Amino acid sequence: MSVIRHDWTSEEILEIYNKPLMELLYEAASVHREYHDPNTVQVSTLLSIKTGGCPEDCGYCPQAARYHTDIEGNDLMSVQQVKAQALRAKASGSSRVCMGAAWRNVKDGPEFDNVLEMVRTINKLEMEVCCTLGMITENQAQRLAEAGLYAYNHNLDTSEEYYKEVISTRGYEDRLQTIDNVRKTNVTVCSGGIIGMGEKTEDRAGMLVALAKLNPQPESVPINALVAVEGTPMEDQKPVEIWDMIRMVATTRIVMPQTQVRLSAGRTEMSREGQAMCFFAGANSIFAGDKLLTTPNPDVNEDMEMFKKLGLNPQKPFVKKAQPETVEAEDSKFEAKGEKPKWSRPDHVIEKNELAKQKGKEALLNK
């Protein structure tokens, strides 16, 4: 089998990324078959349990409170609402539910207690549970693990160098610290990024270097194509070409052989033929459902029809790792500490983010 390396350099990864496409596809497909069933794809449903109002300034995100987008915000969903959505997802073929809340970081209190109950509820449905809630402390990660969390998503987004051109309200080190906190538990790590934000190919390689250096490497790596939303600083970015997605998926597969590579945001812009090439290149996970938090996504029936044509089968839950046990709240060994960690707030300014913020203020005044 291919050796799992944690010492990749940007130069090595760029050399892979820029190979003639047929050579790249052959190598990636060969690596994929060493570690995975090429005809099985893990299907996740992404559910926004709390939408909008985020204090961060991520240049790609329509949920940032400072930008004026058409996103309709909502408070935290109830446990029963989430359970109903999870049952619907399970019936449609999903093996995992990923719950996303538009928070900068998790804060101990009633809302986090409700999220823990959501995790318990979904795990008891025999589905994998993933959360993406922003930065978390080690104690909060332990509480999620006790509740039965299977995976925690915290994307690096891009390279450390280009990150400063995308986000100014938190540092790259915060991302790595959160992943490290998750690694101190039995919860698996889901971490990837976005291409098409104006980054260079070197930045794509730099992101893969950062992910590959993690030991162990993330069990899941989402590769997102930017969905340019009106009102965000990146509203004028051109769509990513399918060839870039194919190359990024293939390179990720070669660099991180054991990882499940998730074809994520941007699939509405991809043809079935383009997605098929991504699956051939090593993608073996998708998000299903008509929305990814707030951006469009192919209908689950369309995906199942595509699976049928390609001879693909949805992966069953807990194939890669055993189902976690759920510890009830009253039996928990970890209690809320009311922590107030000092996550970083970099002092640099991103001009396009500030312009979008000002544009958002003016739009609100003119309503």
The annotated binding site for [2Fe-2S] cluster is made up of 98, 130, 190, 262
Between the CA of residue 100 and those of 80, 155, 188, what are the distances in Å? Answer: 16, 12, 16
The span from the CA of 121 to the CA of 115, in Å, is 10
The span from the CA of 296 to the CA of 267, in Å, is 9
Concatenating the DSSP letter of every residue in 180-249 gives: HHHHTTT-EEE--EEE-SS--HHHHHHHHHHHHHSSSPPSEEEEEEP---TTSTTTTPPPPPHHHHHHHH
What are 221's two structure tokens? 């790596």
310 sits in the region (left: phi over 0; alpha: psi -120 to 50; else beta) called: alpha
What are 23's two structure tokens? 């050579």
The span from the CA of 53 to the CA of 65, in Å, is 4
Whose CA is closest to 225, among 172, 276, 286?
Answer: 286
Q: Which residue has the tokens 């998503």?
A: 153
The span from the CA of 322 to the CA of 317, in Å, is 9
* Residues identified as active-site: 54, 58, 61, 98, 130, 190, 262
List residues forming the annotated binding site.
54, 58, 61, 98, 130, 190, 262
CB-CB neighbours of 335 under 10 Å: 9
What are 185's two structure tokens? 């538990």
The span from the CA of 249 to the CA of 100, in Å, is 24
Give residue 261's identity as a one-letter amino acid code.
Answer: V
CB 226 within 8 A of CB 266: yes
Backbone angles phi, psi at 63, to 5 degrees: -90, -5
The span from the CA of 236 to the CA of 45, in Å, is 28
Give residue 321's identity as a one-letter amino acid code.
Answer: K
List residues forming the annotated binding site for [4Fe-4S] cluster.
54, 58, 61
What are 195's two structure tokens? 């291409």
